[in-house]
Amino acid sequence: MRPWRFVRIFRSRRDLVSRSRPTVSPTQARPRLLKGAAVGVVGAGQIGGSIVRCLSRLRPDITLCTFDLNLSLAPRLRPFALFCRTLGDLVRQSDVVVLAVPVQTAVRLLPRIATLAGQRPSRRRLIVCDTSTVKVTVAAAAARHEADFDFVGLHPLAGTEGRGWESANAKLYQGRPVVICPSRVRPGRVARELVGLLGGIPVKMDPHDHDRFAAEGIGLPHILAFAAVGMGADAGPASLLRGGSWRSLTRVTASSPAMVAGFLHENRDHQLRVLVRFTKYLEAVARGLRRPSAGGLERQLAGWQRRASKAGRERR
């Protein structure tokens, strides 16, 4: 019996037809399709580092190797995986390569990986996955190399504002959705097994739908958070009143500005449309504030609250 069932999301969020938690914990799951395979993780930040920490328990069933431009991480990574000093060393030793890097970096690495794929001694066809926040751009770039490797786009919805290897956590993906974009049958099955071994919940989603939803669910909160801290930088005594609400709103501003700017700009068409929509909601609040009593604003806020509650029940 498989340790997970597949979750399907189609054109509308209301088309969510099944959702389930993994039936076994990642500490119990064992590789089948990946048994005897070598998994290489490029990037040892929070996302890639958490994959390394989690999969290291599966050795020797899985050979695990990693590469990061920060060579000073080598002593800390070696207890968990073979540290490769170049991308070429990692690709030549791997059957599955996971690019846990920003979207622009993933796109830049794909041609190099395509060249290296033919230098591998393994008879298994190379599978390349990425974990970036924007899927269409990477999928289009990977399609140019379909003769060299199979590609599966992933997006684990598990990251925090933490940065680097120090924030990596072997349980980061446990019980968390991991988007899997459509692919060929075998690489798709391998990717789903990989997600299951990490303890994640596979969520099937078209790359275009993913990027449209990500603009609202990921991009917009980051924009609001950074805009709020920018506006509040010169707040003076007003900063004394910043409590839990402010901390919740601005938590993600501890993230790398370069990473955030990268995925926002790469998804800019969807992101701009979301900003236009959100502006209309702000205008509704402004109209309520201009009225002589709070009744209209209260009704507006209560209506939004009811809609959110109803949507939450439908998702469950």
| Domains in the chain: boundaries | 7-205, 210-315
CATH architecture of the region 210-315: Orthogonal Bundle (1.10)
CATH topology assigned to domain 7-205: Rossmann fold (3.40.50)
Whether this model's pTM surpasses 0.95: no
Sort residue 43 into left (φ over 0), alpha (ψ -120 to 50) or beta: left
Phi-psi region of 160 (alpha: psi -120 to 50; beta: other; left: phi over 0): beta
Phi and psi dihedrals of 291, rounded to 5? Answer: -75, 155
Q: Which of 211, 210, 196, 193 is nearest to 268 (CA)?
A: 211
pLDDT in tens, the chain (316 residues): 333 333 444 344 434 333 434 434 555 578 999 999 999 999 999 999 999 999 999 999 999 999 999 999 999 999 999 999 999 999 999 999 999 999 999 999 999 999 999 999 998 999 999 999 999 999 999 999 999 999 999 999 998 888 899 999 999 999 999 999 999 999 999 999 999 999 999 999 999 999 999 999 999 999 999 999 998 877 677 777 788 899 999 999 999 999 999 999 999 999 999 999 999 999 999 999 999 999 999 999 999 999 999 988 887 7
Same fold across 7-205 and 210-315? no
